[in-house]
Structure 1
Amino acid sequence: RSRNDQVATDLRLWLREAIDELRTQIRLTQAALLDLAEQKRDAVLPGYTHLQRAQPILFAHWCLAYFEMLSRDRERLGETRRRVNVMPLGSAALAGASFPIDREIVARELGFAGVSRNSVDAVSDRDFCVEFVAACSLIMVHLSRLAEEIILYSTTEFGFFQLSDAVATGSSLMPQKKNPDSMELVRGKAGRVFGDALSLLTMLKGLPLAYNKDMQEDKEAIFDAFDTTFSCLEVSALVLRNMELNEKRMREAASRGMMNATELADYLVRKGTPFREAHETVGKVVVRAIESGVELSDLSLDELRSFSNRIESDVFESLTLEQTLATKSRTGGTAPERVAEALAYARASL
């Protein structure tokens, strides 16, 4: 009778339940994203690359990006659970049991899908712990990215989002301050979970077979990773349900900064211009607009035609915010009809 296989079994039983709880909380956080997206399905947000304004997108499309990340997290945890759900009990200290026990019956009684096939590996395996904490780490990467954007978009400089007093705090010195502490803590705690993953890997990397007392250190890492990740999912959902949008400012930002430049290049391509030439032409048009202190749509038809005789009066319709969104109509794009379909699909998947 050894504790080696008993502890390994208990740990797997605990992790099964922990994974189920995390997957449930991921669903709740995803539901908060969907609820917000459906409430604000007409809101427009500047899309960024390199933190520079790139192309306009629907705010709901932005929400769905995080929904997709969390969907992968939920799926990843499910795959991890499948490998967790193997019973090591009956492996004894390392060489296996010498009494006529039926391990398969015990596995069924405990809800395991199967039994381990090598007793030495069974008592020394902690791969499933690493997998679990690695999955938690990716969840925290995604929550940290969400937190960073909420923090950024809540600043006076952006002014797209406003957090309610329920999820923000004031300053002990400056009366005007409203600090996004909730999201800052989520962002900060990501590093804590990454540390849990590194501690597990470091603890395991030089261990000889089979069981070693070093493995006692696995509990602190997985318990902390679970508690931290679960709490951060809860807080993120709470923030999403206590966040207001400044839709006017978001739309204004999405309508400025030459964010329809790609649309003008696509317009020229549809008129028969090779994209390389269209890209170069639009670059010159952008320079003219910057020098004139106007947006592309503010340039006159004559000015636009001075760069390409393929440009006609219908160009102005192509340069509208609505048309810029509508043309991104392939599956996965930000066109309103595609986003509506994606929202319905996402809701059905929960």
Structure 2
Amino acid sequence: MSMWAGQFDAAPNELVAEMGSSIHYDKRLYKHDILGSKAHARMLARQHIIPESDATAIVDGLDQVQREIEQGHFEWKPILEDVHMNIEKRLTDIIGAPGARLHSGRSRNDQVATDLRLYLRDEVDFIRQRIVNVQTSLVTLAKDHTSTILPGFTHLQHAQPIVLAHYLLAYSEMFERDLGRIKDWKARMNYLPLGSGALAGTTLPLDREFVAKELGFAGVCTNSLDAVSDRDFAIELVSLCSIVMMHLSRLSEDIIFWMSQETAWVQLGNEFCTGSSLMPQKKNPDMCELTRGKTARVFGDLTTVLTIMKGIPLAYNRDMQEDKEPIFDAIDTVKLVLAVYAPMIATMRVDKERMYQAASDPALMATDLAEWLVEQGVPFRDAHHRVRDLVTYSKTNSISLDRLTLDQIKISVPEANEECLNLWKPEQSVAKRNIVGGTAPEQAIFQIRTKWGHLLEQ
């Protein structure tokens, strides 16, 4: 019979027991469940709710339970449903009556809310460090490519020349915002639910602030209904994971394109690629492709948790048991992909010459001519139209822009002079974009030194 059997005079139907059990996935919370229980026991003794000797026995017994779990000797019993009841039952088997006192002043509702916050708080630190590792790989590569020129794209069409460092640092900026979201998330979620009971608190004189301090929380949840019934902190973390994966997926897409024969701008180390079971010549960027697929998976986890929570009335409902698997899956997935990406980027080899050739089409410098006209006092819309007409003339007559004579340029751009004949070099184009946020090599070097230098010092 389950530990909650009470008025029930029959064991659950086998299928009911199977459907209600969560032990196969929530047992990963065991460390945090034990940590919270030890703090709770010490508080109960401080408040004279249980004897000091019982609290000591509970703490020692929980230490033994943890050793059994970590040494592989612990028997997880599905009939006990979850990690909390399994640990409490084993504790009581070990120390007897004092173990039965541990649950004083708490419910599984506030217990699981506490365990989950403790677990996620630890897991997000792994995510944070792995994001920093990816940033370090990006910045290290960028340092070697502040003058490597390639086409920048809009609408997947060649647009303007950029330097590769500028591109790589763009993703480092995105990941920096992800780190900011983690920091904000930790500040919002770091409050203790324990002591909220099933939904209404308890009549026992708990010292919740003591437990919060013991467990490293900034304070306590101040509304017991909210504390046990919401999972917005978990939803926010899965949303954060989704944004990280979105950034990784976009980076993956570019790498896949850059490795194609159509561009052949980069190569990844063989250890991060796979071959074909049929075609011996293939070298596939499968880790990038899997990242795109796993991004969809994490998005699905977010949708699942939101859908679970959207129609639940206050307070706790059993539906919320189903939040663990998508939450755990999202965390496991983002941690794995981030772990792959840092060393994978470090193996990237760049074909500078092919990139430069692709960026050397003078049409990519058309905007430079329009902006030159603006400097001469021509309104930008007029300048844009004149250069557009010049590009049309170039295509119609099959003459590259950099091979037009000054007289030919003047047909569309009457303000042109000899200086306009020298606007068609990509290195000149990127160098002139020497403003904050621009793609000039000088800006990339400055950003690496001042904003990202700490990553290179690690």
Cross-structure match for 2:342: 237
> Does 1:261 find its partner at 2:370?
no
**Residue 395 of structure 2 corresponds to residue 286 of structure 1:** no
Q: Note the alpha carbon deviations across 1:238-295, whole angstroms, 9 max, x for none.
A: 2211111111010010111600000011111112222111111111111122233343
Q: Does 1:153 align with 2:258?
A: yes
Q: Tell me if structure 2 keeps the 8 A contact 1:53–1:257.
A: no
Determine if contact 1:196/1:225 at 8 Å carries over to the other structure: yes
Deviations 1:6-33 (Å, cap 9, x if unpaired)? 1110100001001111111100000000
Deviation at residue 74 of structure 1 after TM alignment: 0.9
Are positions 1:77 and 2:182 aligned together? Answer: yes
Distance 1:311 1:126 in 2: 64
The answer to whether the Cα contact below 8 Å between 1:15 and 1:84 also exists between their aligned partners in 2 is no
1-structure distance, mates of 2:196, 2:414? 80
**Residues 1:98 and 2:98 are matched in the alignment:** no
Pair 1:206 & 2:311 matched: yes
Q: 2:149 aligns with which of 41, 44, 48?
A: 44
**From 191, 194, 200, the counterpart of 1:89:** 194
Distance 1:341 1:187 in 2: 32
AA partner of residue 426 (structure 2): L
Report the Cα distance in structure 2 between the residues aligned to 1:159 and 1:249, rounded to whole angstroms: 7
Conservation of the 8 A alpha-carbon contact between 1:22 and 1:230: yes
Aligned residue among 424, 438, 447 for 1:333: 438
The residue aligned with 2:110 is: 5
Superposition pairs of residues 1-350 of structure 1, within 5 angstroms: 1-256=106-361, 258-348=363-453, 350=455
Q: How much does 1:163 deviate?
A: 1.7
| Amino acid paired to 1:29 | V
Q: How many correspondences in the alignment?
A: 350
Shift of 1:3: 1.1
Equivalent residue letter for 1:177? K
8 Å contact from structure 2 (residues 149, 162) kept in 1? yes
* Identity rate, percent: 50
Of the two structures, which has the highest relative contact order with CA contacts closer than 8 Å and spacing of 6 or more? 1
Q: Is the 8 A contact 1:91 1:123 kept in 2?
A: yes
- The alpha-carbon deviation at position 339 of structure 1 amounts to 1.4
Q: Aligned letter for 2:206? A: I
Letter in 2 for 1:231: L
Greater Rg by CA: 2
Amino acid at match of 1:142: H
* Matched letter for residue 219 of structure 1: K
Q: TM-score normalised to the size of structure 2?
A: 0.75
SS in 1 for 2:364: coil
AA matched with 1:97 = T
* 1:209-256 CA distance string (max 9 Å, x none): 111111111111111111100111112222211111111010010111
Q: Which residue of 1 aligns with 2:17?
A: none
CA RMSD of aligned residues (A): 1.3
Q: Do the aligned partners of 2:362 and 2:402 also contact (CA within 8 Å) in 1?
A: no
Residue type of the partner of 2:342?
A
- Quick one: distance in 2 between partners of 1:349 and 1:49? 32
Which TM-score applies when normalising by structure 1?
0.97
Letter in 2 for 1:334: T
Q: Is the partner of 1:260 in helix, strand or coil?
A: helix
Give the whole-Å Cα distance in 1 for the aligned partners of 2:166 and 2:300. 32
Q: Deviations over 1:65-103 (max 9, x none)?
A: 111111111110111111221100110111102211211
In 2, distance between residues paired with 1:87 and 1:257? 62
Structure 1 residue ranges without an equivalent (≥5): none
What secondary structure is seen at the aligned counterpart in 2 of 1:259? helix
Given that residues 149 and 427 in structure 2 are in contact (C-alpha distance below 8 angstroms), is that contact kept between their aligned partners in structure 1?
A: no
* 1:149 positional shift: 0.4
Moved more, 130-139 or 169-178: 169-178
C-alpha distance in structure 2 between counterparts of 1:343 and 1:129, whole Å: 34
Q: CA deviation at 1:298?
A: 1.5
Give distance in 1, aligned partners of 2:362 and 2:417.
23
**Per-residue deviation at 1:40?**
1.9
1:88–1:122 CA contact under 8 A, matched in 2: yes
Q: Secondary structure at the match of 1:314?
A: helix
- Which string of whole-angstrom CA distances, capped at 9 and with x for unpartnered residues, describes residues 161-184 of structure 1? 112211111111111111110110
After TM superposition, which residue ranges in structure 1, 4 or more long, deviate above 4 angstroms?
Answer: none
Shift of 1:151: 0.2
1:60: how far off?
0.3
The runs of 5 or more residues in structure 2 that have no matched partner are 1-105
